[in-house]
Amino acid sequence: MSLAEIYRKFWEDKFGLGKGWSANWWPGTSISLGERGVMRDGRLQHQGYVGDYGVSFDLDPVHSPVSGSWDYSSSGDTKVEIGADASVPGWEWLGHASAGLSVTFGNQESIYISAGGTTIERVRDNDRLQMDLLSTAFEHGMPIGQCVVVERQLTTQAMVIVSSGKSGELKAALSGDVKVSSVAQGAVASLAGHLDIKRQTGGTSKQEYPTGMVLAYRIITLGTRGWWFWRHLTVRGITGVDDSLIETALEPDDYFIMFQ
C-alpha cells in the first residue's frame, strides 16, 4: 500500500469519507472552491475554475466549529516527543519552545502531521451553483465529467514532516512569539513557518503552508444520463444502474449534477 493510500485510509477512518469527498494528496496541495478539473487516481487534475465560464458563487459566511487538535503518523515506528510545558496561547498542543519537538522515523517512508484543529469552508448556495453549471453545460459546452470543488476541509495551525525511510530524525523549537490569525477572518497561521530546525537527518523534511493546509475537498460532477456517461460511471465503480431503463426514459443530452 502506497503512502498516499495509507493517508487516505487514515483520513476516512478519522473524519469519515462522505459522498463526494476526497482526501487531499499531497496534504497541503492547493485546492480552491470553484476549481474544476477531472479526477484521476484519487486526485483532482486542475483544468481551470468555474469563473472561466462566467459562473460565480459566494462563500458560506458561517464556518463549521473548529475540531480539537490531533496528530497522525503513517508508521508505528515514528516516535514523537512534544514539550508539555506550554506557554504560547493557542499553541498548547506543541509545547514550550525550550522543550521543542522531536520526531524520529523508522526505516520505512512515513509522514507525520500535527494540527491544532480543522474547519470546513463551503460554497454558500450549492443548489444555485449546480443550476448555473447546468445552464453553462447547455449554453457554453462545459465538458461532461467536469468536477467542481464545493467544500474543503482546512487545518488551523499545522505542520507536516516526512521521511524518505532512512531512520530520519528532526528536532525543532519555536523560533519566537507566534500570533495565530482567526479562521473566521480567512487567514490560517502556519506552525511550520515558526519552527527553528535544530537537527535534521535521514532525508526528513518540514513542509510550510503560510495560508493553511487543505486536508480534503468535496466535488460535484457534471454528466448526462445518456448511455455513454452511465457506462463511464459504471467502469469507475458505480454499480446498480439499469442502463436500458435510463436509455429509454431519458434523452442523451439530459444533464445532471451528482456527488461522485
- State pLDDT tens for residues 28-70: 788 999 999 998 888 899 999 999 989 999 999 887 887 877 8
pLDDT (0 to 100) of residue 240: 52
Q: What is the mean pLDDT of residues 71-86?
A: 75
Residue tagged 429509454 (cell numbers): 248
pLDDT value at 85 more than 80:
no
Q: Strand, helix or coil at 140? A: helix
pTM of the model: 0.75
Closest C-alpha to 189, from 47, 91, 56, 67: 91
Residues pairing with 220 in the sheet = 148, 259
Half-sphere exposure of 140 (CA within 13 A, CB side): 12
Q: What is the mean pLDDT of residues 172-180?
A: 58
Rounded distance between C-alpha atoms, residue 130 and residue 125, angstroms: 9
Per-domain residue ranges of the chain: 3-223
pLDDT (0 to 100) of residue 225: 54
β-pairing, 35-40 vs 43-49, is antiparallel
Q: What is the mean pLDDT of residues 206-217?
A: 76
Identify residue 46 by its one-letter amino acid code: H
Q: Strand, helix or coil at 87? A: coil
**What is the CB neighbour count within 10 angstroms for residue 62?**
9
Rounded distance between C-alpha atoms, residue 133 and residue 206, angstroms: 39
